[in-house]
């Protein structure tokens, strides 16, 4: 039996296999632990979901979805599935997901530590994340992460995309409305309307890169017709500014259509339908009315 109310689980062993080393994070009904897997002799991450009187059914659905998604994915930039198990505690039962540990710091931590990222750094991160999104979106059915943001990207020997707790396979029926999950400021208008698509991940990545280039959260940047107005807060080439505008276009039909196209445009510096894209963005309308260092050197130099 696990005492989930401990402030820490230090040296507690779960399933006779996982020795807890540290509590990485906690939210209502959830805890994330760093552990040592005695069987494979590696560090792992364990995500606990507890079921009690405050439990919401959607939490379990998202947990099970994350388990299934990670089971299917095999990519060097994504944590891989190791194990899942049930456990009991004084107030009921819970579920645990075990996945590989990605060492390093999150982009959110790097922002606090070093401030704004350079154009070179932003392009390196963007290319790696787009390659991951190409892989996710090419799955059958496509997998949408739905919560791309600085704290969910880890820098180690390469950028890693973590936390698939909001991930969802793309529904084939247009009348299926996905639950609204994600982080305010990084969600596209269509995701805020409960209709996330693969292009919604591109918007979130664009908003993340804008945060890296400005050092400012998207919710604190000015907006015009919901468009993020970041241009006066950055010192980037006009090509990269145009590309970021394209990625965060509020009109889904005018946004970059796929991660592959976005990656090619970033490499070549050419934006498809550039004349159409460069119209007066201030006149656009939206149907949404409101919305809520050694390791470093090894990566970039």
Residue 59 backbone phi and psi in degrees, to 5: -60, -45
H helices of 73-175, in order, are: 107-114, 119-137
Cα angle value 227/228/231 (rounded, 5°): 120
* DSSP codes joined into one string, 19-42: EEEEEEEEETTEEEEEEEETTTTE
SS3 for 88? strand
Q: Which of 137, 192, 191, 199 is nearest to 169 (CA)?
A: 137
Which candidate in 147, 163, 176, 201 is catalytic? Answer: 147
The total of other beta-carbon atoms located within 10 Å of residue 179's CB is 13
The total of other beta-carbon atoms located within 10 Å of residue 37's CB is 19
Contact 205, 129 (CB under 8 A): yes
Contact 63, 31 (CB under 8 A): no
The question of whether 147 is a catalytic residue gets the answer yes
DSSP secondary structure letter of residue 224 = E
**Which residues are catalytic, by number?**
147
């Amino acid at each position: 039996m696990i005492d989930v109310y401990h402030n820490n689980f230090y040296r507690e062993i779960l399933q006779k296999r996982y020795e807890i080393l540290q509590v990485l994070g906690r939210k209502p009904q959830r805890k994330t632990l760093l552990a040592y897997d005695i069987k494979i002799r590696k560090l792992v991450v364990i995500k606990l979901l507890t079921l009690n009187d405050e439990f919401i059914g959607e939490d379990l659905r998202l947990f099970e979805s994350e388990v299934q998604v990670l089971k299917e994915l095999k990519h060097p930039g994504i944590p891989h599935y190791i194990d899942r198990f049930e456990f009991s505690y004084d107030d009921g039962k819970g579920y645990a997901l075990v996945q590989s540990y990605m060492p390093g710091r999150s982009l959110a931590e790097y922002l606090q530590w070093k401030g704004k990222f350079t154009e070179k750094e932003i392009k390196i991160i963007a290319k790696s994340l787009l390659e991951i999104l190409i892989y996710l979106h090419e799955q059958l059915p496509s997998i949408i992460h739905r919560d791309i943001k600085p704290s969910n990207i880890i820098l180690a020997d390469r950028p890693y995309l973590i936390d698939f707790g909001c991930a969802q396979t793309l529904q084939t029926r247009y009348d299926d409305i996905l639950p609204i999950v994600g982080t305010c400021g990084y969600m596209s208008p269509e995701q805020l309307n409960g209709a996330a698509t693969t292009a919604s991940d591109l918007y979130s990545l664009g908003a993340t890169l804008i945060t890296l280039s400005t050092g400012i959260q998207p919710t604190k940047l000015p907006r015009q017709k919901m468009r993020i107005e970041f241009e006066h807060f950055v010192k980037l080439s006009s090509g990269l500014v145009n590309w970021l505008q394209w990625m965060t276009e509020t009109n889904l039909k005018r946004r970059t259509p796929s991660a592959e196209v976005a990656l090619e445009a970033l490499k070549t510096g050419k934006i498809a339908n550039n004349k159409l894209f460069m119209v007066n963005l201030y006149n656009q309308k939206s149907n949404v009315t409101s919305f809520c260092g050694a390791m470093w050197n090894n990566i970039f130099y």
